[in-house]
Amino acid sequence: MNIFLQYILLGVAILVAYAVLALILIYVERKVCGFFQCRIGPNRVGPWGVFQSVADMVKILLKELVHIDKADHVLFRMASFFVIIGSICTFAALPFARGVQAIDFNVGIFYVLAVSSLGVVGILLAGWSSNSKYSMIGAMRSGAQLISYEISSGLSLMTIVVLSGTMQLSEIVEQQSDLWFIFRGHVPACIAFLCYLISGHAETNRGPFDMPEAESELTSGYHTEYSGIQFGFFYLAEYLNMFIVAAVASTMFLGGWQPLHIPGLDGFNAVMDFIPGIVWFLGKTFFCVFLALWIRWTFPRLRIDQLLSLEWKVLMPICLVNLLLMAVVVIW
Amino acid sequence: MTQLEQLRTAGYDFLIDIVGMDWGPDEGLGVIYYLARSYDVADTISVKAVAEGGRENPSLPSVSSLWDVAQVYEREVHDFFGITFSGNPDLRRLFLRGDWVGFPLRKDYDPSVNHVPHTDETFREMDGEGLFAGDKYVVNFGPQHPAMHGVLHLRVSLDGEIVRRVDPHFGYIHRGVEKMCESYTYPQILHLTDRLDYLSGAIDRHGFCLACEQALQTEAPPRAVVVRTIFDELTRIASHLLGWGSMCMDMGAVTAFIYAMRDREKIMDIFEETAGGRLMVNYSVIGGLASDIHPNFQRRVREFIPYMRKMLREHHLLFTGNPIARGRMHGVGKLSLEKAISLGVTGPAGRASGWVNDLREVAPYAAYGQVEFKQKIRTGGETFDRYIIRLEEIESSLHIIEQLIDNIPDGSYAEKTKAVVRLPEGDFFQRVENARGQFGIHITSKGDKTPYRVKFRSPSMVLVGALKQIAPENKVADLIMLGGSLDYVIPCIDR
């Protein structure tokens, strides 16, 4: 009975953290985007508009779920759950600080890659079941895009697995206590980091890779027909996926919750240890999120053929060679 | 027809406009063709053709085989006057529904026949007798679509991501401006001209004032001429900024759009101070200006010029050099010079294909003769050329303003005109260079205080025709981008 209660509490905690983080991310995005565009961003609800996304959440909860004529209703309703469940499952595996991790498999990184691809199914279903031509095109694009970019994101994470010799996320973070992998892994780790940022960004369906949504072409792509909280699920999952990609990047490359240590400088290392792990983790993650926002609000959108040739002709070969290079580095 | 064929062979390869006419029961129906040669667009001739078959069954031979643009012009005349053009391959109604009764611009049209709104909306009517027969995936872009600049409706046949065919459908916001003009006095019509191409409203209105002044054989005082020119150029900058911004947004760069809006705001503020209006400035009147310039006008325009130059550099930094943007625009949507001329694509889009057609240089009106100005020409005809030429034209507009702003002559800002303006009997045609191309005004007057017939040449309508030509075999994303690169404004089409 006791362990049962523990599971329930854990589940609730993850869901609350998920929702709160999504609200924070939406606010941060709107504010940051506002500054990029010489605007102020939300500033009415609460001081500096901090409650804007809370207000938006309340609004979206109260909205009507529009009934789509001739849509496949079972799949249509199911699709948004696929997307959000995939995202929550990935979220649960993130090591926030020492011991603060819900799922810690010995194949942790493999698990992250596996459940995060569940979202593709949801997106394809959403496009297929909506009975809308725009949604259909969006879903097809998204299928092609996500499956392609999964490869190079997987390969660049494998590079780190080769370096660390383990797939367990807690172990990977632990190994970085002396020096983060991006510094320890020489050139291949830096290349892998860049490749992961690009392909991870593409997996989150955000500009310049937002072809599945492409509001100027497909109105909203696969979620054109969704409304209310069903749309909210897609929206939430999109923001949290951005966070998850950033969190995985910081866990694998930037030492996760480990403070910045420089071998030999004991005084400096001791000072860094005073900052708690969760601050380090969130700090690094939000730094990566900021990079994503910067890209998002600067670049125009790619075309679908350019997007795919970027993956298959540029990123994937680089990642493969890089993996080999890392193996050579490790053997030496 | 033979006469037109001879003219076409003699080098008149630019069909400016076809004006449908109803000369009344005696003379009947017909059209007026305005023609020019592409290497000398200043020199125009007009050809009048009376339809055979009386009012019951008027018909004329089609000239769509001579000029590509005639196809859509003839559809318009057919729609409003009921003239059949034998030989035109696609003579559907252009603006009105297929089941509309009567032809509204005929003088004997009875408006009570049609009940607006219609309730029996059937899509069969606009299907154009199986235009898309055999195409499996036909998608409607518009009339409500985030990337359609206004309420344009494109029916697009897709093969996966590839566009196979585009059929523009006009008329969603047609207001019947040309018909309204026939019952409005000339000063009243001025207010309608601002609302055609609302982004170059000041220029269109200037054009109408010039047409009336030409007919009345008066001239605006030098002060008004210079101020009008400055206003035109400011309008052009504002329009090009918006065109640039919305093209960038069509390609997914939202920030660029906001940057453009930010700079455009400065111009709107200048307009507001002097004219009261921001978008519709309502500033030129027949014989001069509605009011004198604001005391701050010159100072603020002088301040704006270096600001805009600085921001132009920023725009280039943000977007022009961007590898994704370059990759998107490179090699897409080529419009050849011959096609541009045959389609009548004037303005920046035509000049990007290498066609020297800027009326400000080849047929200077207003104060353009007094300034040093060389039109921008590019020869590529690709999307990037159409993109970059707008930014280049902003720079040349700044140069024009720079030369005029310190030399605004003193004196009155408007000639005295009579309270009731009556144009002498005759046909008058005037063109001005607005931000999208040549905007033409045809006025037929019978000496009354209202015109007998007014026709506006819309450069935007031609641009949509160009889109129809260059979009097929490109991707969906490119269709939207090409629309942005042509930068049409729908209210100018749906007059």
Residues of B with CB under 8 A from a CB of A: 137, 139, 145-147, 158, 161, 248-256, 258-259, 262, 318-319, 322, 324-325, 327-328, 475-480
Task: Indicate whether B129 pLDDT > 70.
Answer: no
Q: What is the dihedral of CA A214, A218, A219, A221, to 10 degrees?
A: -70
pLDDT (mean) for B446-464:
89
Task: Indicate whether B121 pLDDT > 70.
Answer: no
SS3 B402: helix
Closest chain B residue to the Cα of A34, Cα to Cα: B255
Q: Give residue-wise pLDDT tens across range B75-95.
A: 899 988 888 888 888 888 888
DSSP secondary structure code for residue A68 in this structure? P
Q: Give residue-wise pLDDT tens across range A146-157.
A: 888 888 998 998
| pLDDT band, residue A239 (cuts 50/70/90) | confident
The rounded distance, in Å, linking the Cα atoms of B167 and B133 is: 13
Cβ contacts of A288 within 8 Å, gap of 6 or more? A197, A245, A246, A247, A249, A250, A254
For residues A272 and B374, which has the higher predicted lDDT (pLDDT)? B374
For helices A118-129 and A73-92, the axis angle rounded to 10 degrees is: 160
Nearest partner of B484 among B295, B203, B247, judged by Cα: B247
- What is the model's pLDDT at position A71? 80
Nearest partner of B463 among B359, B410, B386, judged by Cα: B386
Least confident of A263-277, B20-34, B156-170: A263-277
SS3 B232: helix
- H or E element, residue B103: none
- What is the model's pLDDT at position B236? 92
- What is the model's pLDDT at position B55? 82
Say yes or no: A331 contacts chain B, CB-CB below 8 A. Answer: no
**Type of residue at B464:** V
Task: Indicate whether B130 pLDDT > 60.
Answer: yes
Q: Does B189-450 match B1-109 at the fold level? A: no
Task: Indicate whether B123 pLDDT > 60.
Answer: no
Q: Do A299 and B253 touch (CB under 8 A)?
A: yes
Is CATH 3.60.21.10 the classification given to domain B189-450? no
Least confident of A167-171, B203-207, B222-226: A167-171
Task: Indicate whether B226 pLDDT > 60.
Answer: yes
- What is the model's pLDDT at position A1? 65
Do B8 and B67 contact (CB within 8 A), yes or no? yes
| pLDDT band, residue B235 (cuts 50/70/90) | very high
Residue in A134, A300, A304 closest to B475 by CB: A304
Q: Which residues of B touch A300 (CB under 8 A)?
A: 248, 251-253, 256, 319, 322, 324-325, 328
Q: Do B324 and A300 touch (CB under 8 A)?
A: yes
Say yes or no: A297 contacts chain B, CB-CB below 8 A. Answer: yes
- What is the model's pLDDT at position B116? 66
Q: Give residue-wise pLDDT tens across range A100-158.
A: 777 778 888 888 888 888 888 888 888 888 888 888 888 888 888 888 888 899 899 88
Q: Do B328 and A133 touch (CB under 8 A)?
A: no
**Type of residue at A169:** L
Whose tokens are 């991707």? That residue is B475
Task: Indicate whether B125 pLDDT > 80.
Answer: no
| pLDDT band, residue B39 (cuts 50/70/90) | confident
Q: Which residues of A touch B322 (CB under 8 A)?
A: 299-300
Nearest partner of B145 among A127, A219, A301, judged by Cα: A219
Task: Mutate one of B311, B476, B479 to test the A interface: name it (highest A CB count within 10 A).
Answer: B476
Q: Do B327 and A302 touch (CB under 8 A)?
A: yes
One CATH from 1.10.260.30, 3.30.460.80, 3.40.50.2300, 3.40.190.10 for B1-109: 3.30.460.80
| pLDDT band, residue A269 (cuts 50/70/90) | confident
Least confident of A102-111, A278-287, A317-326, B116-125: B116-125
**First-residue to last-residue Cα distance in chain B:** 28
DSSP string, A178-195: SS-HHHHTHHHHHHHHHH
Residue in A133, A211, A301 closest to B137 by CB: A133
Task: Indicate whether B128 pLDDT > 80.
Answer: no
Closest chain A residue to the Cα of B263, Cα to Cα: A38
- Classify the phi-psi angles of A37: left when phi > 0, otherwise alpha if psi is within -120 to 50, otherwise beta: alpha
pTM of the full predicted structure?
0.88
Do B236 and B435 contact (CB within 8 A), yes or no? yes
Q: Phi and psi for B87 in degrees, rounded to 5?
A: 110, -15
Say yes or no: A209 contacts chain B, CB-CB below 8 A. Answer: no
Task: Indicate whether A220 pLDDT > 80.
Answer: no
Residue in A39, A217, A301 closest to B258 by CB: A39
Give me the interface pTM, i.e. the ipTM. 0.83
- What is the model's pLDDT at position B118? 60
Task: Indicate whether A92 pLDDT > 90.
Answer: no
Task: Kindly report the average pLDDT of chain A as a whole number.
Answer: 85
Q: Phi and psi for B28 in degrees, rounded to 5?
A: 90, -160
- What is the model's pLDDT at position B115? 67
pLDDT (mean) for B232-240:
92
Q: Which residues of A touch B479 (CB under 8 A)?
A: 217
Closest chain A residue to the Cα of B258, Cα to Cα: A37
User: Which alpha helices (DSSP H) does chain A contain, by range?
Assistant: 2-36, 52-62, 73-92, 108-116, 118-129, 133-164, 169-175, 181-184, 186-203, 215-218, 228-252, 266-273, 277-296, 304-309, 316-331
- H or E element, residue B246: helix B222-250
The rounded distance, in Å, linking the Cα atoms of B361 and B125 is: 45
Task: Kindly report the average pLDDT of chain B as a whole number.
Answer: 86
What are the residue ranges spanned by the domains of chain B?
1-109, 189-450
- Report the percent of chain A where pLDDT is more than 70: 99
Least confident of B108-122, B235-249, B288-302, B395-409: B108-122
User: Which alpha helices (DSSP H) does B47-133 contain, by range?
Assistant: 70-81
Task: Indicate whether B192 pLDDT > 70.
Answer: yes
Interface of A with B in 215-234 (CB under 8 A): 215-219
Task: Indicate whether B237 pLDDT > 90.
Answer: yes
- What is the model's pLDDT at position B239? 92
